[in-house]
Structure 1
Amino acid sequence: MAESHVVIVGAGVGGLAAAIDLAAQGLRVTVLEAADQPGGKMRRVPAGAAQMDGGPTVFTMRWVFDELLDRAGVGDLGDLVTLRPLQVLARHAWDGPKAATERFDLFADPARTEAAIGALSGRAEVERFRDFRAEAERIYLTLRDTFIRNSQTSMPGLVRRGGVGKMSRIQPFATLWEALGKHFHDPRLQQLFGRYATYVGASPFQSPATLMLVAHVELDGVWSVNGGMHALARALADLAERLGVTLELGQPVSTIETKGGRASAVKLEDGRRIAADAVLFNGDVNALALGKLGGEVSRAVPVVPPAVRSLSAVTWCLNARTDGFPLTRHTVFFGKDYPGEFRDIFKRRRLPAEPTVYICAQDRLDDADPDAPAPDGPERLLCLVNAPADGDILSPALDPSEIQACQDRTFALLQRCGLRVELDPSSTTITTPRDFARLFPGTGGALYGRASHGWQASFTRPGARTRIPGLYLAGGSVHPGPGVPMAALSGRQAATSILKDLTSASRSRRVAMPGGTSTG
């Protein structure tokens, strides 16, 4: 097996995690990335002269990366990047009569959060929050080893591993919004914790109550990465190269070839052909299904129809002066009509009339004085609103005039909440669903693969193996789902499958039969 060559298409976090695992086991690994930087969606985006994170901004589940590096024998994550645990997980504000003054901080310290809930909603809601936290933890602990870390994704298998009693407690058939309505009486808290569905590109009104586990994940620790999330991608890429991985940036792959029904090579757009004993595709699975990597591998996975795509987004990467509302590292501004936001996106297929606005203030400390003034000078802000993933459809809902109207609504909401942002087009990069569709082929702009709607959604994501022997999958569109740590886990599961299959094949090739004949 030591002479085996694995080619990985895509240097997202799943591909990098797989490369590290495989190289640490002595395999020859080549990673090919179309972009000029590693990280996939963990990308750097210009905002005028500044550079900033234009993708994921929240780092959780550190243990995933500590285990990856420990397995590779290179220490832990703190040896690669500088991490800072956040004390304020997020600040929240609501549009309405009290928009300029009403705000709520969610803390890493549960006691501080309870005090904040008591001030916002009363003592009874504090008790309900405690029950909610306990249930979120139960769901997470039930699914961590039976589903999240397990490559087998069927419901019968999950029940066998966890037991019928435990599985019934995770509320797979209730929606997240229904479950939150039982826990909280204050609609603002329902809205706040319902937003966790958007972490996987879903609507809280259609996603399963199991997504309450995201609350436990965040309360278990959120970190900022010095240099931004892209610094994490760069550090993983550097580590892979130190372990012997060949990383080629700016090298798009045009075709994954097969021979005898098995993945055998990749062909690059520059005409080169690289033979492989296994190919790992670290991109959206729909790119394979739609034939964007060649007709030979289009049957590897089923097509994801546009109707079941996850959320896309409109983002503004700004280097701008701000004033008024005291931002923290992560701040969320809620519109007046939360159900209407998701009806607009998933039913009407248009940009929301009442958007929720997320801002990552990348130059702010999380525990700054709530009344502290803005930085003296421009600061880097990622502003994001949810959008339909119709970037590959000729829909007037995403025309430039509609993007401009969405921008007007977005910054008007911020203004009503007391935040003034000096927009300067020369220091702003806007990314729309059409841009995301171009950046990530096959997605239509969807940022999380298939939407996690309904109890079966999590079981429809493909696992590491495909219908084509020798072709494997990693990334946010496969099991165990979207998000930086989940994508890394998918890469590790793919590496495990590759190692197992190559070992099995290697042993088969070396079996000695009577008479001295070697057979495969």
Structure 2
Amino acid sequence: MTLHQLPIANKEKVIIVGAGIGGLAASLRLSHMGYNVKVFETAQTGGGKLRTITGQTGEIDIGPTVLTLLPVFQNLFKSVGEDIFEHVELVRQKIIARHWWPDGETLDLYDDFETSRDAILNFSGSDSAKEFEKYFYDTRDLFSCFDIPVMRNPNPSMLDMNRAVLNNPKILFKMHPLRTLSSLLNYKFRDSRLQQLFGRYSTYVGGSPLESPALLSLIWQAEARGVWSIKGGMKKLARVLEKLANDRGASFHYSTEVKELNIKYDRLVSVKDNLNISHEADKFIFNGDPRALALGKLGQEVKKVAPNEADCERSLSAYVWGFDAKVSGPDLVHHNVFFSDVKNSEFYDIKKGKMPVDPSIYICAQDRGKNAPYPTTERFEIILNAPPVSRRKSTPEDYEKCKEITFKRLEMFGLNFQLNLKRENLTTPQDFEELFPASDGSLYGRSPHSLLATLKRPKCVTSLQNLFLVGGGVHPGAGVPMATLCAQLAVEEMTKDQTSILTFPQMATHGGTLTESTR
């Protein structure tokens, strides 16, 4: 029996609505198992938030910029008899990020504990190095404690969280359940710059450190365990997943918007596209923002699938620049953060529904950290946090206003770009709402601003027995690794009652295409 010859019992039809990273990962797993998979996507290409813009130097990433939690992707490829290193060339970033403050001080954090601790020692002294050591091990323990019982659990409950704590009672003192992340960092670090640095990790799931629970300190561990860039850009990952799924029989239908999900006797029976054509299947996966279901955007009957999403607080949006240009000034690495004058000032503005006037600015210098000389004209992605559309409506003046705030701010750090920008170089919260309908422009689904926020997210299993959810708006949460893990959980739930005689071959170890960045 080959990898493609599977029991007839598994030849059920599956329709996946959306070709984001979650939809692509699900399509690959299911097509490999022998399901007849069709994927419908409104956009012209797959990848969802793994977006690009075309510049004079080629494709520029304007979505996620690196991979973290690499074992999640290794597991995906291994599950279909493949090796990720044979399909994408990964470059490990020894420097996780370079951080800049208005006073001219800089701090590099690294992908190993000892080097980061030494860097903090030189940056802020022995007390800060000791504080970092304690913080590192506390967050590592938190990550390990909740990884399997919560993050890798398709339907975690308060009971699961309580069991995790009861199995490791000391973890409660590391959770600080009554503190916000900002409060925890004020307690953990005396240096306000380190408070600012580690507070920023709440934005990785769309939260403000002023309102996110202290438990989100564990997010730091995702990067502490390693950061990889992909030669050819993040979009290459989406293309590889699509090709592997296509090789296994999955079909992809782009520029095809699913307008309605049709229910009969508490089962989803078909979807209707923008040409008013109905497509039937045995099982369905929705890879979109669950809020679209809650608001009835795909039919009134499916509002019950994620009812709590309609009015919940939404996570952060962003202003995202993508362009290529010549640059002069400070020595950039792949990941760079230029901090605001006043700690957390941007989050006060966002809370009030304002465009931040004193933002911290993230820059991905996409041609740096590749173990090769970077070109004269480089590719850049710049991200500023922003409120979702429900808190602030976009205006015609936003482009010029954001341009002035962004590049004047960077000039204060000595960073100068030779720019020729147009409106299409900027993605605003309103643009994100149009790209991802019913998202409210939010990039991370519902807000993480409560200790139990993760338990309130929609789960992959729904009240309709043959409809499953995947994506960043679904548990275990936002980000490329979590959406990929979500697809795994959904497929496991969908197929757990199926019997398959498929066995996977032993995977060889390949190291020829995994390289490390030295800066």
1:429 is displaced (CA, Å) by: 1.1
281-290 or 305-314, larger mean C-alpha shift: 305-314
Question: Is 2:136 the counterpart of 1:129?
Answer: no
| 1:163 match | 166
TM-score, normalised by the number of residues in structure 2:
0.90
Q: Distance in 2 between matches of 1:409 and 1:302?
A: 38
| Unaligned stretches of 5+ residues in structure 2 | 1-8, 501-519
| 1:54 match | 62
SS state of the match for residue 344, structure 2? helix
1:204 is displaced (CA, Å) by: 0.9
State the AA in 2 paired with 1:378: T
Question: Is 2:223 the counterpart of 1:218?
Answer: yes
8 A contact 1:12–1:40 mirrored in 2: yes
1:303 is displaced (CA, Å) by: 4.4
8 A contact 1:290–1:303 mirrored in 2: no
1:375 is displaced (CA, Å) by: 5.1
122-131 or 106-115, larger mean C-alpha shift: 106-115
| 1:104 match | 107
Q: Distance in 2 between matches of 1:273 and 1:166?
A: 55
| 2:473 match | 477
| 1:351 match | 355
Q: Distance in 1 between matches of 2:272 and 2:312?
A: 32
8 A contact 1:47–1:319 mirrored in 2: yes
8 A contact 2:141–2:171 mirrored in 1: no
Q: What does 1:315-394 align with in structure 2 at a 5 Å threshold?
A: 315-346=320-351, 348-365=352-369, 377-390=376-389
Question: Is 2:439 the counterpart of 1:435?
Answer: no
Note the alpha carbon deviations across 1:301-342, whole angstroms, 9 max, x for none.
Answer: 124356610010011101111101111101001111232211
8 A contact 2:14–2:283 mirrored in 1: yes
Q: Distance in 2 between matches of 1:320 and 1:384?
A: 16
Note the alpha carbon deviations across 1:372-424, whole angstroms, 9 max, x for none.
Answer: xx95532110011001111x67x55x212234222211111111111111221
SS state of the match for residue 431, structure 2? helix
Match of 2:180 among 161, 175, 182: 175
| 1:67 match | 75
1:234 is displaced (CA, Å) by: 0.8
Match of 1:78 among 55, 79, 85: 85
Match of 1:461 among 457, 460, 475: 457
Q: Distance in 2 between matches of 1:68 and 1:30?
A: 19
8 A contact 1:319–1:427 mirrored in 2: no
44-53 or 325-334, larger mean C-alpha shift: 44-53
| 1:290 match | 295
Q: Distance in 2 between matches of 1:108 and 1:498?
A: 36
1:500 is displaced (CA, Å) by: 2.6
Count of equivalent residues: 490
8 A contact 2:95–2:109 mirrored in 1: yes
Q: Distance in 2 between matches of 1:409 and 1:299?
A: 42
Q: Distance in 1 between matches of 2:429 and 2:311?
A: 13
1:44 is displaced (CA, Å) by: 1.6
SS state of the match for residue 212, structure 2? coil
Note the alpha carbon deviations across 1:70-98, whole angstroms, 9 max, x for none.
Answer: 12122x21122000111111011112xx2
SS state of the match for residue 462, structure 1? coil
1:21 is displaced (CA, Å) by: 1.8
1:280 is displaced (CA, Å) by: 0.4
Question: Is 2:278 the counterpart of 1:277?
Answer: no
Q: Distance in 1 between matches of 2:21 and 2:493?
A: 17
1:172 is displaced (CA, Å) by: 3.5
Note the alpha carbon deviations across 1:465-516, whole angstroms, 9 max, x for none.
Answer: 1122211100000100001010011111111111135679xxxxxxxxxxxx
8 A contact 1:89–1:366 mirrored in 2: no
Q: Distance in 2 between matches of 1:161 and 1:179?
A: 21
1:171 is displaced (CA, Å) by: 3.1
8 A contact 2:146–2:164 mirrored in 1: no
8 A contact 2:57–2:377 mirrored in 1: no
1:166 is displaced (CA, Å) by: 5.6
| 1:35 match | 43
Q: Distance in 2 between matches of 1:502 and 1:350?
A: 51
8 A contact 1:146–1:162 mirrored in 2: no
SS state of the match for residue 400, structure 1? coil
Q: Distance in 2 between matches of 1:317 and 1:335?
A: 21
Q: 1:173 to 1:302 in 2, by over 3 A?
A: farther
8 A contact 2:149–2:156 mirrored in 1: no
1:49 is displaced (CA, Å) by: 5.8
| 1:508 match | none
State the AA in 2 paired with 1:269: N
Q: 1:414 to 1:23 in 2, by over 3 A?
A: same
SS state of the match for residue 308, structure 1? coil
8 A contact 1:142–1:166 mirrored in 2: no
Q: Distance in 2 between matches of 1:365 and 1:238?
A: 27
8 A contact 2:57–2:379 mirrored in 1: no
State the AA in 1 paired with 2:333: T
| 2:397 match | 401
1:426 is displaced (CA, Å) by: 5.0
Q: What does 1:409-420 align with in structure 2 at a 5 Å threshold?
A: 409-420=405-416
Over the aligned positions, Cα root-mean-square deviation in angstroms equals 2.0
TM-score, normalised by the number of residues in structure 1:
0.90
| Unaligned stretches of 5+ residues in structure 1 | 369-373, 505-520
Q: 1:492 to 1:313 in 2, by over 3 A?
A: same
State the AA in 1 paired with 2:381: L
Identity over aligned pairs, percent: 39
| 2:197 match | 192
Note the alpha carbon deviations across 1:351-370, whole angstroms, 9 max, x for none.
Answer: 112111101111112789xx
Q: Distance in 2 between matches of 1:366 and 1:102?
A: 25
8 A contact 1:56–1:229 mirrored in 2: yes
SS state of the match for residue 384, structure 2? strand
Q: Distance in 2 between matches of 1:303 and 1:27?
A: 32
| 1:513 match | none
Q: 1:200 to 1:246 in 2, by over 3 A?
A: same
1:462 is displaced (CA, Å) by: 1.1
Q: Distance in 2 between matches of 1:401 and 1:433?
A: 14
Q: 1:42 to 1:53 in 2, by over 3 A?
A: same
Match of 1:145 among 125, 145, 148: 148
Question: Is 2:121 the counterpart of 1:118?
Answer: yes
SS state of the match for residue 430, structure 2? helix
8 A contact 1:318–1:381 mirrored in 2: yes
State the AA in 1 paired with 2:139: A
